[in-house]
């Protein structure tokens, strides 16, 4: 055994020689020594600590683990450790009651809650989390909010002045460090706090860390000079340690021996790091205090506060070198430099936009002319659009506002210099004229494309906003600005643009107008005036009605447009606007004249969605006008598919991944119509089902026993079957149940019950009150229900009447006698009712030509037996062969003559000129026999 371990000698020579002995030894010998000295090591390291220190150490270790997990966003680990921390805190309840809640515990609770709230608000970050972390985040957030209610006052005090609470703990540190040497010998003192215990460990290992560094240096470098330096370090340490008390010296030398053991060396390294970490905040605070004392003067190499770990830009990069003459050529060169970095990996897009703004400001300061300013504005707007490289992503609110402002500024410049600036896509960059001269400015660019892109971005913002939030309403208010920009550009293009560009901007204006109901024009058409004088003045000051605007814009496109797409969209929007304002005949005629229904399947999906929306609006308009059959025909295709929501671009239906992959789903989502343009699907279905009921119920009554009866509406029959299958029939609740109950009442000819099911408070609030002219629609519905119920009654009960008075029918259905007369006359003319009208007595005389129910059943049986016999004969022919061999079926299904059995003699059979064929017998030759 070396002398180093034997006794606590003070001399330099002994320790330096011991070092020489230990260094060259193999690792195995060191391991043996560690085994031999394990008992002594335990004796020297044994420390008696209070229960308080043990409990607080456990808490601080758990807190450290939680903070590490927070740094790497491991929510599952955070949750697990937090639950353990709560259990450990419960165990130390007795100590907490005596000493009070430790400040480091309160600090963790406050920090953890803030951290979780920050993560929760970060929607993008939450999407990137895996399933376990996202679940753990929500669970931990709920737990911490519930747990922190018990410590609200302490947390509030900490949040009010977090610096003071940190300083209080640091004030305790000198006391703890001063008493650390005593606590080594006497570990049972109760006055030791948790912070002192935490600080005590690194301080005890501070001298050992010196040896670690020197040992590391000697191991890495083999030069003799480094060895000498190490010996000097050892000597100086030994002198220091020798100056201490002899009792302490024995324990110190033994602890130094442990430094050379691998296990202890590894365990001391974290403590060294921990000490380094704790020193850094103090240095930072000290520098901040110095800066404050100096009265806000900047300290070179000082600390700066950084938000979210993003390095702050200390100073903006200089645009031009000092003394550079700023002219148009220099600015254009700088602009091209900035644009070359666009799209490259690692380019900060926000910084690029700022640089362009700065360049525009420099150009304006130096009066370089409006040409260069317009070019820079074009590039700023393009950079704002490129800020989100992902096509599906929408612009953030601040970027959106900047974009609108930039476009407004650009249009201001163009209007102010109307005759001095020419812009266009066909102007080559070489032929641009940006400098101030006698010639007008020529700038390459297309303001129409920028406005079209702005319109698309607005649509994307509306698509990606929750429609039931206040944010959607706030975003929708921007539509006024968007329409204002479109109007300004429209006025500019009418003077400067080509026909094609004018058509494009007209279509943008139409797309913002066609779906909006013009309430003021509607009030004027009804002859209503504004309630107050201010409203009347406002109505007078406003321009032309939307119908006039639509008519003017659409007719220009019909006449001038050369592309089918713009014309098709304009026609559909025009029809939609007519239908929305109850101009049924104009809308119908325009649809029929356009022949769009013939080739709409070849159009692109957005145009098909617009066509579907137009057809639906046309059907609803027909219903409001009382054209029930037209309404049903217009809505049939959309409603019978069962995919109305998807066909109208108002949402996606759940489908299998085989039918639609993720990429297709993204594309379809981009085609969706914003929420404020949606058509109410419940209203649509109700209009369709009521139209089907008014057509189907009389038809079913007229053809009750007809085996070949066809269905007018499959969906309506499906709803009837669903209603019949219900084991328990209660009062109707949903809209469909109301229509089914009304249908059953109409089938019995009970129009009052039918009316009560279709028009009541629930149905009014869900459907009928949503129409502009609510009362007129309800009156039309009542009238239609009365008329169709009368027809159904006559079809159902005509067999039990010999004659019936029209006056009685008029009283039963509350219809005027001329109306009843008209309905019955139509039924007789169309041969739906076998009866005649007796004019003097005003009665309907039944002719009894209709079979009774027994006769109807007999007729059906005879028909079925006939078809059965025919099928049986066909099967028999197939099995036995054709009868007599004379006739054989040809491929067309008719019979042809079998020629092989005909004799060619005068007295025998001769070939027949015609045989049995489809369509009847052919004439035979007279010389058959």
pLDDT for the residue 33: 43
Per residue in 466-491, pLDDT (tens digit) is 999 999 999 999 999 999 999 999 99
Of the two residues 41 and 73, the one the predictor is more confident about is: 73
Q: How much is the pLDDT for 715?
A: 86
pLDDT of residue 820: 93
**Whole-number pLDDT of residue 666:** 84
**Coil vs helix vs strand at 838:** strand
pLDDT, residue 507, reads 94
What pLDDT is recorded for position 459? 92
Own/partner contacts of 461-467, CB < 8 Å, gap of 24 or more, are 461/394, 461/395, 461/400, 462/674, 462/675, 462/676, 463/394, 463/669, 463/670, 463/672, 463/674, 464/394, 467/675, 467/676
Higher pLDDT, 422 or 407: 407
Half-sphere exposure of 11 (CA within 13 A, CB side): 6
Percent of the chain at pLDDT above 70?
69
Tell whether the model's pLDDT for residue 243 goes beyond 60. no
pLDDT, position 543 = 61
Residues 791, 788: Cα–Cα separation, whole Å: 5
pLDDT confidence tier of residue 260, bands split at 50, 70 and 90: low
Q: How confident is the model at residue 391 (pLDDT cuts 50, 70, 90)?
A: low
The per-residue pLDDT for 614 is 95
Q: Is the pLDDT of residue 181 over 60?
A: no
Q: How confident is the model at residue 251 (pLDDT cuts 50, 70, 90)?
A: very low
Q: Which pLDDT score is estimated for 306?
A: 55
Looking at residue 176, its pLDDT comes to 45
- pLDDT-based confidence at residue 289 (cuts at 50, 70, 90): low
> H/E/C letters for each residue in 240-253?
HHHCCCHHHHHHHH
Q: What is the pLDDT of residues 864-880, one digit of tens each?
A: 999 999 999 989 888 87
pLDDT-derived band at 125 (thresholds 50, 70, 90) equals: confident
Cβ neighbours, 10 Å, residue 560: 14
Q: Which residue has the higher pLDDT, 25 or 528?
A: 528
Does residue 616 have a pLDDT over 90? yes
| DSSP helix/strand/coil, 175 | helix
Q: Which pLDDT belongs to residue 393?
A: 78
Please state which of the ranges 571-575, 703-707, 832-836, 882-886 shows the lowest mean pLDDT.
Answer: 882-886
Burial of 510 (0-12, 13-18, 19+ CB in 10 A): buried
The string of DSSP letters for 496-515 reads: HS-HHHHHHHHHHHHHTTTT
pLDDT score of 196: 45
Q: Which helix (H) or strand (E) holds 888?
A: strand 887-889
Instruction: Using DSSP, state whether 183 is helix, strand or coil.
Output: helix
DSSP H or E segment with residue 462: helix 447-463
% the chain with pLDDT above 90: 30
Q: What value does the mean pLDDT take over residues 715-744? A: 88
> What is the 3-state secondary structure of 715-742?
HHHHHHHHHHHCCCCCCCCCHHHHHHHH
pLDDT score for 726: 83
Closest CA to 580 of 626, 542, 625: 625
pLDDT exceeds cutoff 50 at 161 = yes
| pTM of the entire predicted model | 0.60
Q: What is the pLDDT of residue 431?
A: 72
Q: Answer yes or no: is pLDDT of 180 > 70.
A: no
Taking only the tens place, the pLDDT of each residue in 339-370 is: 888 777 777 888 888 888 888 888 888 888 88
Residue 303 confidence (pLDDT): 58
What average pLDDT does this structure show over 447-456?
Answer: 92
pLDDT, residue 163, reads: 59
* pLDDT on residue 488: 92
pLDDT at 193: 44
Q: What is the mean pLDDT of residues 735-754?
A: 91
Window from 140-154, 299-313, 556-570 with minimum mean pLDDT:
299-313
For residue 766, count CB atoms less than 10 angstroms from its CB and return exposed for 0-12, middle for 13-18, buried for 19 or more.
Answer: middle
Q: For all residues of the chain together, what is the average pLDDT? A: 76
Q: How far is CA 290 from CA 167, 303, 655, 915, in A?
A: 16, 11, 66, 122
- Residue 63's pLDDT band (boundaries 50, 70, 90)? very high
Per-residue confidence (pLDDT) for residue 434, from 0 to 100: 76
**pLDDT number for residue 24:** 44
The predicted pLDDT at position 778 comes to: 93
DSSP string, 50-107: -HHHHHHHHHHHHHHHHHHHHHTT-HHHHHHHHHHHHHHHHHTHHHHHHH---HHHHH
Question: 459, 606 in Cβ contact below 8 A?
Answer: no
pLDDT for the residue 538: 55
């Amino acid at each position: 055994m070396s002398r180093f371990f034997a006794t606590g000698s003070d001399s330099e020579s002994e320790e330096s020689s011991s070092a020489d002995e230990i260094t060259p030894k193999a690792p195995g010998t060191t391991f043996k020594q560690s085994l031999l000295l394990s008992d002594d090591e335990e004796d020297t390291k044994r420390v008696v600590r209070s229960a308080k220190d043990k409990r607080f150490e456990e808490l601080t270790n758990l807190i450290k683990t939680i903070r590490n997990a927070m740094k790497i966003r491991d929510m599952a680990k955070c949750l697990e450790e937090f639950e353990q921390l709560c259990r450990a805190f419960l165990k130390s309840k007795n100590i907490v009651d005596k000493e009070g809640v430790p400040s480091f515990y309160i600090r963790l609770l406050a920090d953890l809650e803030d951290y979780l709230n920050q993560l929760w608000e970060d929607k993008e970050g939450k999407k990137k989390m895996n399933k376990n972390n996202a679940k753990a985040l929500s669970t931990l957030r709920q737990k911490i909010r519930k747990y922190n209610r018990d410590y609200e006052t302490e947390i509030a005090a900490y949040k009010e002045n977090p610096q003071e609470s940190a300083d209080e703990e640091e004030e305790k540190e000198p006391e703890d460090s001063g008493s650390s040497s005593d606590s080594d010998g006497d570990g049972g003192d109760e006055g030791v706090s948790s912070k002192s215990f935490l600080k005590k460990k690194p301080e005890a290992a501070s001298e050992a860390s010196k040896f670690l560094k020197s040992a590391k240096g000697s191991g890495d470098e083999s030069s003799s000079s480094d060895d000498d330096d190490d010996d000097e370090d050892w000597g100086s340490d030994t002198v220091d340690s020798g100056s201490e008390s002899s009792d302490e010296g024995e324990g110190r030398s033994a602890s130094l021996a442990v430094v050379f053991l691998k296990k202890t060396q590894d365990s001391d390294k974290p403590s060294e790091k921990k000490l380094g970490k704790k020193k850094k905040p103090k240095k930072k605070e000290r520098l901040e205090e110095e800066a404050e004392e100096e009265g806000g003067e900047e300290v070179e190499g000082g600390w700066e506060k950084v938000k979210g770990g993003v390095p702050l830009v200390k100073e903006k990069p200089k645009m031009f070198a000092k003394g550079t003459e700023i002219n148009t050529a220099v600015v254009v060169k700088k602009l091209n430099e900035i644009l070359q970095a666009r799209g490259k990996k690692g380019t900060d897009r926000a910084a690029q936009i700022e640089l362009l703004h700065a360049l525009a400001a420099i150009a304006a300061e130096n009066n370089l002319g409006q040409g260069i300013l317009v070019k820079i504005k074009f590039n700023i707007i393009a950079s704002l659009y490129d800020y989100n490289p992902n096509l599906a992503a929408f612009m953030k609110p601040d970027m959106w506002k900047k974009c609108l402002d930039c476009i407004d500024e650009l249009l201001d410049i163009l209007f102010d210099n109307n005759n001095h600036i020419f812009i266009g896509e066909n102007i080559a960059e070489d032929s641009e004229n940006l400098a101030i001269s006698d010639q007008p400015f020529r700038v390459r660019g297309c303001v129409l494309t920028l406005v079209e892109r702005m319109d698309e971005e607005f649509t994307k913002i509306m698509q990606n906003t929750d429609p039931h939030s206040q944010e959607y309403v706030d975003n929708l208010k921007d539509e006024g600005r968007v329409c204002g920009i479109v109007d300004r550009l429209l006025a500019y293009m009418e003077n400067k643009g080509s026909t094609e560009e004018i058509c494009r901007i007209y279509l943008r204006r139409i797309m913002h107008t066609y779906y909006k109901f013009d309430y003021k024009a509607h009030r004027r058409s009804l002859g209503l005036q504004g309630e107050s004088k201010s409203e009347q003045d406002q109505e007078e000051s406003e321009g032309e009605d939307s119908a006039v605007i639509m008519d003017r814009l659409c007719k220009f496109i019909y006449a001038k447009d050369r592309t089918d797409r713009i014309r098709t969209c304009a026609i559909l929007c025009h029809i939609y606007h007519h239908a929305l304002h109850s101009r049924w005949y104009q809308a119908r005629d325009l649809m029929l004249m356009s022949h769009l229904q013939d080739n709409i399947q070849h159009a692109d999906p957005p145009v098909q969605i617009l066509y579907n929306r137009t057809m639906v609006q046309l059907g609803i308009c027909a219903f409001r006008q009382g054209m029930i059959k037209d309404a049903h025909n217009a809505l049939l295709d959309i409603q019978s598919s069962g995919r109305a929501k998807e066909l109208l671009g108002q949402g996606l239906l759940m489908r299998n991944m085989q039918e639609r992959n993720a990429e297709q789903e993204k594309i379809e989502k981009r085609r969706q119509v914003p929420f404020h343009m949606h058509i109410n699907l419940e209203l649509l279905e109700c209009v369709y089902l009521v139209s089907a009921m008014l057509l189907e119920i009389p038809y079913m009554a007229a053809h009750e026993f007809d085996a070949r009866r066809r269905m007018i509406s499959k969906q309506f029959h499906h709803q009837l079957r669903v209603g019949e299958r219900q084991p328990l029939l209660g009062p109707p609740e949903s809209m469909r149940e109301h229509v089914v109950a009304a249908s059953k009442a109409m089938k019995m000819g009970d129009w009052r019950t039918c009316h009560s099911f279709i028009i009541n408070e629930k149905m009014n609030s869900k459907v009928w009150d949503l129409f502009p002219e609510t009362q007129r629609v309800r009156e039309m519905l009542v009238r239609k229900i009365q008329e169709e119920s009368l027809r159904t009654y006559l079809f159902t009960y005509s067999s039990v009447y010999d004659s019936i008075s029209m006056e009685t029918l008029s009283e039963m259905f509350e219809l005027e006698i001329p109306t009843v007369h008209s309905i019955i006359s139509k039924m007789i003319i169309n041969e739906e009712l076998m009866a005649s009208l007796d004019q003097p007595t005003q009665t309907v005389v039944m002719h009894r030509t209709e079979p009774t129910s027994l006769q109807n059943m007999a007729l059906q049986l005879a028909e079925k037996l006939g078809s059965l016999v025919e099928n049986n004969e066909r099967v028999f022919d197939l099995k036995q062969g054709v009868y007599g061999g004379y006739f054989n079926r040809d491929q067309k299904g008719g019979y042809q003559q079998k020629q092989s059995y005909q004799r060619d003699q005068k007295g025998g059979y001769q070939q027949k000129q015609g045989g049995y064929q489809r369509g009847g017998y052919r004439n035979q030759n007279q010389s058959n026999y």
